[in-house]
């Protein structure tokens, strides 16, 4: 029997508990600001707002799984080079039904169900594999495709210089390369060369492919069944 499905997302900063207390407090503030930013940008796609749990763990529940592409990308961009000790963040994503009722006003950390169990399992697997993001519950074939897409995007992003990263972030915000060049005081050719070297077009293509696949899964049109 098909039941309403949601995408549970759990993110965690890598090895943050190993940091000195003062650094950890500073890092937690960065994550608090990240959570506020995610809620402001993606609130309409969330069943419940993102919250900070266990000190530096992010948890949310999405009604629109395609929104997690922007969630993960936004989190990675926000933390790149800005977090104390430059800690990375990894995500586990689980697609499936809830066991608890939504109409009682429970916050996301009070909800439960297969989607949350899968997200937790994928978060632990992502940590062990040192992966960026891992998926479960979307169908065996779709899980493999999504995991591979995000692994490839992570591999590309891992080679970015700080300057290349700044150019990609500003292009997303400003929309045009000439606007990025004007803001940064460089020639448009410098921005173009930087984006080409960073394979930014491949990143955008990977993100769009992931969005389309997730939209088709949510609409029940993907190849693998996701019925329980």
pLDDT digits (tens, 9 = 90+) for 16-40: 666 667 667 777 788 888 899 999 9
pLDDT band at 138; cut points 50, 70, 90: very high
pLDDT at 224 over 70: no
Note whether 191 and 69 are within 8 A (CB). no
DSSP 110: G
207 CB-near residues (< 8 Å, 6+ apart): 69, 73, 153
pLDDT value, residue 78: 83
Position 99 pLDDT exceeds 80: yes
Give pLDDT, residue 104. Answer: 64
Average pLDDT value over all residues in the chain: 86
Reported confidence tier of residue 87, pLDDT bands at 50, 70, 90: low
- How confident is the model at residue 126, as a pLDDT? 94
Q: Return the higher-pLDDT residue of 117 and 20.
A: 117
pLDDT at res. 31: 83
> Which three-class secondary structure state does DSSP give residue 6?
strand
pLDDT of residue 4: 75
Q: What is the pLDDT of residue 227?
A: 40
Q: Percent of the chain scored above 70 by pLDDT?
A: 86
Evaluate if residue 70 carries a pLDDT over 80. yes
The segment with the largest mean pLDDT, out of 75-79, 80-84, 167-171, is 167-171
* Confidence (pLDDT) at 157: 92
Look at phi and psi of residue 86 and say left if phi exceeds 0, alpha if psi is from -120 to 50, else beta: left
3-state secondary structure of 27: helix
Please compute the mean of the pLDDT values over residues 196-220 and round it to a whole number.
Answer: 94
- In this prediction, residue 170 carries a pLDDT of 93
* For range 37-57, the mean pLDDT: 87
């Amino acid at each position: 029997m098909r039941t309403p499905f949601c995408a549970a997302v759990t993110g965690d900063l890598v090895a943050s508990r190993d940091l000195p207390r003062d650094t950890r407090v500073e890092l937690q503030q960065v994550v608090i600001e990240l959570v506020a930013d995610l809620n402001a940008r993606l609130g309409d796609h969330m069943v419940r707002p993102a919250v900070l749990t266990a000190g530096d763990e992010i948890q949310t529940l999405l009604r629109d799984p395609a929104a997690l592409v922007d969630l993960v990308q936004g989190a990675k961009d926000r933390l790149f080079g800005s977090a104390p000790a430059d800690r990375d963040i990894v995500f586990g994503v689980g697609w499936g039904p809830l066991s608890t009722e939504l109409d009682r006003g429970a916050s996301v950390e009070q909800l439960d169900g297969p989607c949350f169990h899968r997200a937790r399992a994928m978060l632990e697997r992502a940590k062990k594999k040192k992966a960026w993001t891992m998926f479960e519950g979307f169908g065996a074939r779709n899980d493999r495709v999504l995991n591979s897409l995000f692994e490839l995007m992570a591999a590309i992003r891992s080679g970015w210089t700080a300057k290349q990263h700044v150019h990609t972030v500003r292009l997303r915000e400003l929309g045009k390369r000439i606007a990025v060049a004007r803001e940064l005081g460089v020639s448009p050719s410098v921005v173009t060369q930087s984006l080409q070297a960073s394979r930014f077009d491949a990143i955008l293509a990977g993100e769009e492919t992931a969005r389309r696949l997730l939209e088709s899964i949510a609409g029940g049109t993907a190849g693998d069944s996701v019925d329980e």
